[in-house]
RNA sequence: GUCCCCAUCGUCUAGUGGCCUAGGACACCGGCCUUUCACGCCGGUAACCGGGGUUCGACUCCCCGUGGGGACGCCA
């Protein structure tokens, strides 16, 4: 098959936000498609008229966009294609490959429960299979599945998997409301959209043989399948809200960079030797389904956090500042001075694991009057340290070289002159300028704040010491 | 219960019969650097689920067991 003919799709159902697991599936599809220069189709599977919402559709599209997973076609909406689905259902009925069924949901449910308690597989018992029923208001359509033989799936990730056809059952392909069910619509749409590779979650493995039978009944050639293993939570149970944030956009709100999430997700199940850090281009070049593991992976938020920190450190300044704006705005910090915030981010980028942390840590740069941490003030805003601070204000206006290096030289000389260690002067200054004992390098802080504000803040600290508290 | 899948450090993983005294990364623990905190650097603890085979030789192949996950909807 020529690689330029590869067509893949991501087919979320709009019944919630884009989940970490869904995002990884989308990512694998995207990487595989870009790697082979194919076409990536986005199709929204909204045939569940009750649960599908437009907000969810938008949320999923937003998350895809944020992650950088652009699609080449779509989004197509499955519900808009019901006429086609019905036509195909009719075709199967006409050919005797599907039939109407009037078993009620409640009696089916009762039979299911009974089978389960009796230790049998809860499959449809075929009550209506040979009744020759015709269309009626609450009749559904069932697909006539062969009961003998074996259906094998050639999975690009898991290898060959075979199923005894007796395990399959006469699944419903059209509901009473006239809408197709998943297993049917997905086959019709994938076939008609020319999808060549279906890359989806592991949880679809058992649906595949049924779908293969439907492809066959409809006279379509089945695509190639690749089932990617699930993502589990720390207790090895399927990842859910219990394990923390699972929505992609929640990570944006928590101050994660899309690149970090993407790189974390890709390594969950896929690897390339010992390599840990990849550029997007490398990922596209090196990605392959053969290198995707077969076993489920536990999502590790700490590794994502580390990756996020790595990306914050390496991010181009322009992009970092842009990503930071919403977080500053939320805190009502005036981030309009480009030169200033550029220095702020430079000071903080090695000290923040998330943009939220960075925004919080940057507070003192923006505040008119710093808030003193009580313990820090108690220890360093004392007459003894105050004398160091006085010495600093006295000389500071005379410093010609007001730069990081110049200030460091100045402070070291001052410490020596006053017979103390630099760290004591630095800590006192730190509290006076930032309110805390933890901050970026004191010389960096002084440069970023600027001479005027440094003097103001030292004087305010001095006043506080003078007032005796 | 039935069917399907999976199984290397706590976690993500490398490993495709000898290169394994099992490698990397996160986390953790030491140390260095140092004006605090980070960053960075150096070092350490830590794993082949169990039992049978096959083979001169199994982490690697086969079988059984155990454990985990998934599926069994007029959800997708």
Q: How far does the CA of A335 sit from the C1' of B42, in Å?
A: 40
Q: How far does the CA of A385 sit from the C1' of B3, in Å?
A: 75
Nearest to A361 by CA among A374, A348, A372: A348
Nearest to A392 by CA among A353, A364, A430, A357: A430
**pLDDT value at residue A226:** 97
**Residues 430-449 (A) near nucleic chain B, CB < 7 A:** 430, 437-443
- pTM strictly above 0.90: yes
Contact (CB, 8 A) for A440 and A430: no
Q: CA-to-CA distance for A20 and A249, rounded, in angstroms? A: 10
Phi and psi torsions of A228, nearest 5°: -90, 140
Q: How far does the CA of A36 sit from the C1' of B61, in Å?
A: 33
Give the residue numbers of A marked as catalytic: 241
Q: What angle, 0 to 180 degrees and rounded to 10, lies between the N-to-C axes of helices A422-434 and A383-396?
A: 80
Q: CA-to-CA distance for A181 and A429, rounded, in angstroms? A: 68
Nearest to A362 by CA among A335, A381, A323, A338: A335
**pLDDT value at residue A465:** 87
Q: CA-to-CA distance for A126 and A142, rounded, in angstroms? A: 10
> Which tokens hold the place of A165?
């056809």
pLDDT in tens, chain A (469 residues): 444 589 999 999 999 999 999 999 999 999 999 999 999 999 999 998 899 999 999 999 999 999 999 999 989 999 999 999 999 999 999 999 999 999 999 999 999 998 888 888 899 999 999 999 999 999 999 999 988 999 999 999 999 999 999 999 999 999 999 999 999 999 999 999 999 999 999 999 999 999 999 999 999 999 999 999 999 999 999 888 888 889 999 999 999 999 999 999 999 999 999 999 999 999 999 999 999 999 999 999 999 999 999 999 999 999 999 999 999 999 999 999 999 999 999 999 999 999 999 999 999 999 999 999 999 999 999 999 999 999 999 999 888 899 999 999 999 999 999 999 999 999 999 999 999 999 999 999 999 999 999 999 999 999 998 876 5
**pLDDT value at residue A4:** 56
Pairing of β A98-101 and β A140-143: antiparallel
Q: CA-to-CA distance for A265 and A25, rounded, in angstroms? A: 9
Q: How far does the CA of A271 sit from the C1' of B38, in Å?
A: 30
Q: CA-to-CA distance for A409 and A390, rounded, in angstroms? A: 18
**pLDDT value at residue A242:** 85
Q: Is A117 exposed, middle or buried (0-12, 13-18, 19+ CB in 10 A)?
A: exposed
Q: CA-to-CA distance for A215 and A80, rounded, in angstroms? A: 21
Contact (CB, 8 A) for A99 and A128: yes
- Where do we find the tokens 């970026």? A440
Nearest to A338 by CA among A321, A313, A360: A321
Which neighbouring-strand residues pair with A197? A8, A224
| Strand (E) or helix (H) holding A224 | strand A224-228
**Residues 61-80 (A) near nucleic chain B, CB < 7 A:** 78
Prediction ipTM score: 0.95
Torsion of CA A14, A20, A26, A31, to 10 degrees: 170
A422: nearest nucleotide, CA–C1' criterion: B35
Q: How far does the CA of A295 sit from the C1' of B58, in Å?
A: 22
**pLDDT value at residue A469:** 58
Determine the 3-state secondary structure of A134 from DSSP: coil
Q: Is the CB of A168 under 7 A from strand B?
A: no
Phi and psi torsions of A199, nearest 5°: -110, 115
A122: nearest nucleotide, CA–C1' criterion: B72
Q: Is the CB of A100 under 7 A from strand B?
A: no
Q: CA-to-CA distance for A229 and A156, rounded, in angstroms? A: 12
Nucleotides on chain B that have an atom closer than 7 A to a protein CB are 1-8, 10-15, 23-27, 35-40, 68-76
A445 vs A361, A364, A442, CA distance in Å? 12, 10, 5
Q: Is the CB of A16 under 7 A from strand B?
A: no
**pLDDT value at residue A1:** 45
Residues with Cβ < 8 Å from A390, sequence gap 6 or more?
A462
Could you please report the per-residue DSSP string of A47-113?
Answer: --TTT--HHHHHHHHHHHHHHT---SEEEEEGGGGHHHHHHHHHHHHHTTSEEEE---HHHHHHHHH
């Amino acid at each position: 098959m020529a690689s330029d003919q590869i067509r893949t799709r991501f087919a979320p159902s709009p019944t919630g936000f884009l989940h970490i697991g869904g995002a990884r599936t989308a990512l694998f599809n995207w990487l595989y498609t870009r790697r082979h220069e194919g076409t990536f189709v986005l199709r929204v599977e909204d045939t569940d008229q009750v649960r599908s919402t437009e907000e969810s559709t938008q949320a999923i599209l937003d998350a895809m966009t944020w992650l950088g997973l652009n699609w080449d076609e779509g989004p197509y909406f499955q519900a808009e294609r019901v006429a086609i689905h019905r036509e195909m259902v009719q075709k199967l009925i006409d050919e005797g490959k599907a039939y109407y069924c009037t078993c009620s949901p409640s009696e089916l449910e009762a039979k299911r429960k009974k089978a389960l308690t009796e230790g049998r597989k809860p499959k449809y018992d075929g009550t209506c299979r040979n009744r020759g029923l015709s269309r009626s208001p609450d009749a559904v359509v069932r697909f006539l599945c062969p009961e003998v033989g074996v259906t094998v799936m050639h999975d690009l990730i898991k290898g060959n998997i075979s199923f005894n056809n007796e395990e399959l059952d006469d699944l419903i392909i059209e509901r009473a409301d006239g809408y197709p069910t998943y297993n049917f619509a997905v086959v019709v749409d994938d076939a008609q959209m020319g999808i060549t590779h279906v890359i989806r979650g592991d949880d679809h493995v058992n649906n595949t043989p049924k779908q293969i039978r439907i492809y066959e009944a409809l006279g379509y050639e089945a695509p190639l399948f690749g089932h990617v293993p699930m993502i589990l939570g720390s207790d090895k149970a399927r990842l859910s809200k219990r394990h923390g944030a699972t929505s992609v956009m929640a990570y944006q709100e928590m101050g994660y960079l899309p690149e970090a999430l993407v790189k974390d997700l890709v390594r969950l199940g896929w690897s390339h030797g010992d390599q840990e850090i990849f550029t997007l281009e490398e990922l596209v070049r090196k990605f392959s389904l053969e290198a995707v593991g077969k076993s489920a992976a536990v999502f590790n938020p700490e590794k994502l956090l580390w990756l996020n920190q790595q990306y914050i450190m390496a991010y181009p300044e322009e992009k970092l500042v842009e990503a930071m704006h919403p977080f500053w705005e939320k805190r009502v910090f005036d981030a309009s001075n480009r030169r200033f915030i550029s220095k702020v981010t430079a000071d903080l980028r090695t000290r923040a694991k998330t943009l939220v942390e960075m925004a919080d840590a940057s507070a003192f740069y923006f505040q008119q009057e710093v808030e003193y941490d009580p313990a820090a003030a108690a220890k360093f805003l004392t007459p003894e340290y105050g004398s160091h601070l006085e010495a600093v204000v006295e000389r500071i206006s005379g410093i010609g070289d007001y730069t990081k290096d110049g200030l460091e030289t100045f402070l070291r000389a001052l410490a020596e002159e006053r017979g103390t260690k630099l760290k004591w002067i630095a800590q006192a200054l730190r509290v006076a300028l930032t309110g805390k004992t933890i901050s970026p390098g004191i010389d960096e802080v002084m440069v970023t704040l600027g001479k005027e504000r440094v003097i103001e803040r030292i004087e305010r600290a001095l006043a506080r010491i003078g007032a005796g508290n």
